[in-house]
Structure 1
Amino acid sequence: MDIGMIGLGRMGGNMAERLRRAGHHVVGFDPSPKAREAWTGRDGEAVASLDALVGQLPSPRAVWMMVPAGEITGKTVAALKSLLGRGDVLVDGGNAHYKDTLQRAAELQGAGIHYVDCGTSGGVWGLAEGYSMMVGGDSGAIERLRPIFEALAPAPDKGWGRVGEVGSGHFTKMVHNGIEYGLMQAYAEGFSVLRHKQEFNLDLHQVAEIWREGSVVRSWLLDLTADALKKNPSMDGIAPYVADSGEGRWTVAEAIDLNVAAPVISLALIERLRSRDTDSFSDKLLAAMRNQFGGHAVKSE
């Protein structure tokens, strides 16, 4: 079928390519000329404006956004509201906050435009492995795009599904990413304990490979960890700074609003924030406190 892809970066470009390989006609747009050139280099069709993209699609149109959450998504939706028409479907496959999604869906509903939120997981591996998609929105609109979801998923009947009304897709993906924070933190801490047991001189890549088969902690994330340890066992050249996309923060905030205890996800988020404090005042003050009450030595910088 025909679909427009807005955003041809690492995720959007690979998703467009997976759709193209499955036989779908994809018209791509990205404000970056380099991104458009990269897409045309894959034998894709690119246009230089949203107006041109909508004009290339037959009605009722299907448009998929893979753009950063927040202001950029909001501006893109606002621009498309005047370009799309009744019966068209706009899919937001980015990591938008579900409350923003609810607001945008309500704004488009009056124009007869279906807003579908698709929480998308798969990263740079999605092109080869397929994407996990948690889809929220009108069931009829989602069913109409079934061939698109089936092509993007790991298999037509696996890795995707309608989880509920609009907003539920991004909400589910938000919690998914919060869980991801906790899993990553647990693996990182465990391998750090192994590395610090110096008398055993453990081969961390070997341990990861052993755990990958039959262990109760085996997972795709462990597979990726094993690959990272194979390439760089001591993590040379990597700064101890861990960024976050915001979804972990949203998950923790939602847990608080719902009176749900989520200590592992919350602490994993705090640890990411902790990694960015290269000149920790709190640690200096802790050392000073120990010196005050116990006379413990203070280590100079």
Structure 2
Amino acid sequence: MTTFHVKPRFVTRGDVRLAVFEQGNPDGETLLLVHGWPDTHDLWQHVIPHLAETFRIVSYDTRGAGASSTPAAVSAYALPELARDLFAVIDAVSPDAPVHVLAHDWGSVETWEAVCEPGAEKRIASYTSISGPNLDHLGTWVRERLAQRRFTGPLAQAVASSYTVLFQIPVVGTLPFRLGMSRIWPTFLRFFDGMDASLVRPAPTLRTDMITGLKRYRANIRPRLRHPRERRTDVPVQLILNRRDRAVRPVGYEDTGRWVPNLRRRELDAGHWSPISHAGDVARLTADFVGDLRLDTTTDSRGGGTA
């Protein structure tokens, strides 16, 4: 595969500086990659080589991770702030054309916040989501299933998400990461996801990123699950559902089509960290989705669409 030079830069929004990295085909459509917890932009290092010849690829360290700023207040990690960061990066790297977005884990959660904002379809051409739900959709789904006395799905997700209760407790939630979790992270992912530990290349900031990133859980989970908002989007969305995901169960997405008219579902026989363990599959599904959307647009512009 062709090796592309990485161009680093910073995008500033208020007091926050976001470390942004550009590579790939400068003439291709822009594909923005958004990582989750406790990763940095390096999460995508196995995915990028499969896409770099086709797309202009932009990744960034979200606030509180890697080389980006680390605000101290928990409120600084609320979803609206994270979505504004994403839009700031889009405006800086592609002011004249909408971008495609591929996101994982908390990167996916915050991208859901962005794509449901009014006018998002003018800035985001497509969104491929992996292992990170829209918290408002999830909250509504749980409440409705419980009201219907359909407990199986919510119970499965509650068990999978039980660790997040610990993460929301100040001081106590950070103890595993202060006591050395970062040192055994590849081994943990081998156990948790069944992946080849040699594929895991932790960032040097991992320990700090783990601790700071817990503020996302504290700022968002309880407010959104307790008081879910009505959130819709006209952005085309692809869900990559990892069948062996121990943290985010596919059943939690069964109602997503209510809020996303243009929705595609694809499954992988993968665990939570599929961008590492199944990088080629993630890249292929993302490129296929963008290509199919491009074909649909071309067909409609030529008068070949159906009424």
Q: Give the TM-score, by structure 1 length.
A: 0.31
Higher relative contact order (CA 8 A, sep 6+): 2
Q: Give the TM-score, by structure 2 length.
A: 0.31
Which is higher, the Rg of structure 1 or of structure 2? Answer: 1
The structure with the greater share of residues assigned to helix is: 1
